[in-house]
Amino acid sequence: MLWLLASHAIAFRAGEGIAARFAWSGGAQDLLVNLVLLFLLLVGFTCLNWVGTRQGSVRQANALPLRATAGEEWTRGVVIGWAAAVIAVIPMVIAAALHPEFLWTASAWGGTLLSILTLAIAALASEVAFRGFLFRRLIDAVGPTAATLLLAGIYAVIGSMSPNATGLSFIIMIIAGVLFSVAYLRTHALWLGWGLHFAWAAAIAVIFGLPVAGVASYSSIVQTDTGGPVWLTGGVYGPDGALFTAIVFVVVMVLVYRATRTYAWNYTHPVLVPGGYPMDVPPPAAHTAMEQQAAAATAPPLVQIAPAASSNGAERTSTSEPTPHL
């Protein structure tokens, strides 16, 4: 946790300093901050894992295994996250609480691409921070249930530091933390959770032009103002603070559980270790000696049974049919 907090502080300081040095815009600064944060988390957690175990690569330490289904898991997470965002916004559309404006300028398109890249890096950094090395070590220490609840609470506390957070948004952030933890527990990797996290944030910020956890600085060709009660839209905090989002996250949790049955079977079951007594025990010495003595004994002579012969010396051929009488 100390390294996590230190990484956040260093990343923001470094991002602000480099952006000011080269006069970069806010979007580029956000991307730089998340890149530095991701780098510090990956390297720091890898070093901590090596200190504790004297083994493990960057991928192994941070739950990013390179396996055949990695791309499939990430894509499945993207589909589920995008669908969750669309369903969460439907009540706002029905209540006519969204008032979008479209910007078709080249700068808006460029800012949209930059925002998508920033959200992808930010989602991965968040998953590495809360569902990677730290989550795995907590599971070893206190079990998966306690580790999930503990990190979900910490995730919600950090999320509540965003502008305009509410009590409802705090509860929703806890549910979201449990959801992303379930994605890891069912796959023992971050690919699914990363895709889910990224797609949710990208759909809310880029497709609908709404704030993500109180952050409205992401550029998009769609800029949306919200009206109506805060419990319906989340207000300036965004759909992460809307009541219907809590219901959507619970349903998505069940969907993730059902959609990962194959991954859970392939990747989460413990490796079977053979037990019992070894089956290659050498035979007793007396038995070996008896076998050697029998093999060294002289083999008995072979007895050849000659065919029956007739009285005139010719061999008589046996036949199964009787000799006819003339």
Kindly tell me if the per-residue pLDDT of 185 is higher than 60: yes
**What local confidence, expressed as pLDDT, does residue 316 receive?**
47
**What local confidence, expressed as pLDDT, does residue 246 receive?**
95
Instruction: Tell me the average pLDDT across 42-60.
Output: 88
Which helix (H) or strand (E) covers residue 70, if one does? helix 70-94
Q: Comparing 219 with 76, which gets the higher pLDDT?
A: 76
**What local confidence, expressed as pLDDT, does residue 318 receive?**
46
CA distance 132 to 170: 22
Task: Supply the angle between the helices 106-131 and 167-187 in degrees, to the nearest 10.
Answer: 70
pLDDT tier, 250 (very low <50, low <70, confident <90, very high otherwise): very high
pLDDT, the chain, mean: 85
**Phi and psi at residue 73, to the nearest 5°:** -65, -45
> What pLDDT, in 10s, does the model give residues 118-156?
999 999 999 999 999 999 999 999 999 999 999 999 999
**What local confidence, expressed as pLDDT, does residue 319 receive?**
46
Which percentage of the chain shows pLDDT scores above 70? 87
Domain map (residue ranges) of the chain: 68-267
Buried b (16+ CB within 10 A) or exposed e, 186-217: bbebbbbbbbbbbbbbbbbbbbbbbbbbbbbe
Give the type of residue at 172: I
**What local confidence, expressed as pLDDT, does residue 96 receive?**
83
Most confident region among 46-60, 75-89, 153-167, 219-233 by mean pLDDT: 75-89
Instruction: Tell me the average pLDDT across 299-324.
Output: 55
313: left (phi over 0), alpha (psi -120 to 50) or beta: left
Instruction: Tell me the average pLDDT across 249-272.
Output: 90
**What local confidence, expressed as pLDDT, does residue 214 receive?**
83
**Dihedral of CA 135/237/235/85: which sign?**
negative
> What pLDDT, in 10s, does the model give residues 194-238?
999 999 999 999 999 898 888 887 877 888 888 888 889 888 888
Kindly tell me if the per-residue pLDDT of 311 is higher than 60: no
Kindly tell me if the per-residue pLDDT of 299 is higher than 70: no
Kindly tell me if the per-residue pLDDT of 308 is higher than 70: no
